[in-house]
Amino acid sequence: MSEIKAAVDLSGKSAGFALSRDGEILRNSVRPMKGRDSAEFAPWVEAELAAAGCRLEEVTHWSVGSGPGSFTGMRLAAALVAGWTFGKRVQCRCVPTAVALAACVPTANGDKIGTLFDGRNRELIYFELENRKGELLPTGETAVLNKEQSSVYFQNKDVKLAAQSVEMPALELLLEPELFARVQGVETLDISALIYSNCKEYDQDLTDLVYIRPAVFV
């Protein structure tokens, strides 16, 4: 029997989906989706599965992007997968969306990647990972920073910085020019990285979202 793994993400302004069969990536898709458009999320995922010649009931493992990001979007994606898998022998877990962002940045063993997110309210959210022998693992360091705090926080901090391109205009207002110039903009998240990630076991816990600040944006 084939091992079919899928990943979904709805933590930002786009929806993401990835699918693999026995380790081979079949789909790795992202499309704009936010607000009321999220009603299209379930049909879109099902269409992506169909395009890969796969049925919903064939998926054996699900990974849900857990942020940082929109609390509503993350809960929606998690609830959807929980409904699809209820009462079935299917493995589930949450994986930080930050992994899908950091995977787009070239790194070597030992490098640290600071992923940045627009936290709204004139603040940014910082989530740090480290390349440990090719595996991108959270270091446990997170922060919520305004412009004044970020200028101090990043002093002498040796990390590669990355953010989604769509959020760069907001982040530019929260970082000094010299610091902003270090940020690598990423057009599209690598959702397949959520499938390959070993930073979380399949623990059946779809409530394990990245809480760095209270909802609505966490």
In the chain, which residues fall in CATH 3.30.420.40? 4-96+190-196
Q: Which residue has the tokens 């209820």?
A: 86
The pLDDT value given to residue 212: 76
Numbered ranges of CATH 3.30.420.200 in the chain: 98-186
- Chain segment 127-178, per-residue pLDDT in tens: 999 999 999 999 999 999 999 999 999 998 999 999 999 999 999 999 999 9
Residue 217 has pLDDT above 60, yes or no: no
The pLDDT value recorded for residue 214 is: 56
Residue corresponding to tokens 């079935």: 88
Identify the pLDDT of residue 37: 79
pLDDT of residue 1: 75
Instruction: Kindly tell me if the per-residue pLDDT of 180 is higher than 60.
Output: yes
Q: What is the mean pLDDT of residues 44-67?
A: 97
Domain spanning 98-186, CATH class: alpha beta
CATH architecture of 4-96+190-196: 2-Layer Sandwich (3.30)
Residue 5, helix vs strand vs coil? strand
Specify the DSSP element, H or E, that contains 112. strand 112-118
Lowest mean pLDDT among 27-36, 103-112, 148-157: 27-36
With beta carbons less than 8 A apart as the criterion, state whether 18 and 192 touch.
yes
Residue 74 has pLDDT above 90, yes or no: yes
The average pLDDT across 6-12 equals: 96
Interacting residues of 18 by C-beta distance below 8 A, sequence separation 6+: 6, 7, 25, 27, 28, 29, 191, 192, 194, 195
Residue-level pLDDT at 218: 52
pLDDT given at position 211: 79
- Mean pLDDT of all residues in 92-111: 98
* Cis before 106 (ω within 30): no
Give the mean pLDDT of 27-36.
88
Residue 61 is predicted with a pLDDT of 98
Check: CB of residue 98 under 8 Å from CB of residue 203. no
Of 81-85, 160-164, 213-217, minimum mean pLDDT range: 213-217
pLDDT of residue 213: 66
